[in-house]
Structure 1
Amino acid sequence: MVSVNGRLVESVPCSDMRPDVQAAKASVDGRVGFHAQLSLDDGDIVRVTTPQGKPLHHSPWLYLPPESDGWLPASLTANHPEYSGVADFSESLAWKRFQPLFGQLGDISAVKFDSGDGPMVAHPGMSPDDAGRIHRFYKRVLTPAGIASPALRHQQGIGERQMLIFDFFPGKPLDRHGPGWEAWLPAVMVELERLQQFGEQHREGLKVRGGRKPPLVNHLFRQALGDALRWDRAHGERRFLLWLVTRLKRLPQVLSHGDLHRENVLVDTERGNIALVDWDRWDYLPVGFDLARLMRGLAGDTVEQLTGGSHAQRLGVVGFTYLLQRHDRPAMVNSEEGEALRRRCRELAGSLL
């Protein structure tokens, strides 16, 4: 399903037969790829999804003319349907040109703009509470702890909304580096360890306040417990799920990013630097959750090898990997991989007794 600026323009069937895809049952009939002719203007946003609404990898796409050098004129925000949410901010900051930046769900989560003193990134449309929490977290944790993250310059309000403005980090998300992205994991783990150490030293001063977004780990626990109570979905793992959730909840609670998927890790390959972004879900969470979410999609034995660390951290990573894998691939539960993960969880838990 192909849409331009939120409007469906056509439904296109996949046309290229791939025997390897068919053998792997990765599509209904083994066909992949499609061809569609579109009439586009500068700044148009193309989204491609399955009929069920699931976006294709790296969708949406932004159309830019070759001569644009990646920038769009700020005047485009005044009447373009995709940029109406940032029009007020562009007027307030006197932007000359901008680039939309997309979040994991394909929405415009931030805007890169030319400030006259160099590129910066604005996150518009926040509530005062959300913006204030992130601002305080930068001031109390990220800056004093020296966590690799773009510097927060200031907070600005327009009407009932707030905007946070950061330095621009010249990198691209870890998820878009293709094969070999795992080479950056040690650098990420260094930052997580620094965050955990700082969080332990200042735990009393970092109490989590009400009104926050609920931790994503809670949703994972609820789903697992719900499946454990439904005989038609538990597939014989009911007792294991109840045991696993109990064990994971008993793990040490460490200061965590809370939403560390690979789109939230930026990598500058030229300078060898990384930056962790989108800290609105920070919390004290079971050790291993951040790493399991970061490595989502990798096999369980691979995840544990890449992680290392204490038995508690290994159990957290392997246990949360199991919960994430069964969510993404329900058939995994009855596979050899699923049995191996369950066995490894029990072994790691036994070593902690």
Structure 2
Amino acid sequence: MTKVAVLGAGSWGTALSIVLADNGHDVRLWTHRHEQAEAINRTHKNEQYLDAGIPEQIKAFHSMEKAISDVSAIVIVVPTKAIREVCSELDKTLKNPVTIVHATKGIEPESLKRVSQIIGEEMTDYDYEDVVVLSGPSHAEEVGKRQPTTVTVSSINSQNAAFAQDLFINESFRVYTSNDMVGIELGGALKNIIALGAGISDGLGYGDNAKAALITRGLAEIARLGASLGASPLTFLGLPGVGDLIVTCTSPHSRNWRAGNLLGKGEKLDEVLEQMGMVVEGVRTTKAAYQFASDQQIEMPITEGLYEILFNDKKPKDVVEQLMSRDKRDEMDDIASFLRASYAK
């Protein structure tokens, strides 16, 4: 049995807590809201975020100091915009060495930092090389019901990655390892952009042809940006790439797909975010990826189109027409360049 603190009591943090409890670990689930911690301990449910029973061995805390006391591992599952604040508080409170795992899928706008880099900046005794990232095609709703799920963990510190694999793996939650931490983090973050686009496509009433093209060309954009930041393009053919794209672009469980679907039906971004009631990471990630692509002159037409819809109030149909009328080119150009980059590594 390992003592584990999970920071973040949203749907994904709750689902991962259930996995850890099923594995016999002593799990402490931290939330910044006192009333939420009390409700979880009283009812063993977290109904606002996840329709699943919470095992009684999971204890919810409002006090971070109590939640992390004497734990061996800390799993960070808060939205990207809260990472710095939470890690700053954690840095002041943490007294003993731990393994840090994060399962947040996003990129910080302006700085363009990955989550592991943000953690490394905010934590005095932890560099980003020590952090483990957990990512892959994994709807919290299905994980909470113990439906078969596969994810990947990665860290520059291979011992920490192996520890995280052992911590989470069980008969319904299979965990692979990877040595491409950059690719794993970027795949998990950037797929949210394409999921917004898939939702918009469905909201506009387009069919499977359009969605298949969007997913495929979206994957090319993810690999193009990822390779420019040092990731292996082949990583995006795995679970955190193709796998996560499929699950987030095709399922109403995906909050990014749901948000995009409402946008495609004509609703405004502010209205959509208010309706969702949960963080839609793809919105902030679109801004970050658009900024980076512009600065580095990386071709990302789908991301650019989504940026225009989200932040410049451009009509989705106009963006589709713009994408469909782009200059002719050979599809194999991307694939050939990706293979060359992979062999070079």
> TM-score, normalised to structure 2's length?
0.28
Q: Which has the higher strand share?
A: 1
Q: Which has the higher contact order (CA 8 A, sep 6+)?
A: 2
> TM-score, normalised to structure 1's length?
0.28
Q: Which has the higher helix share?
A: 2
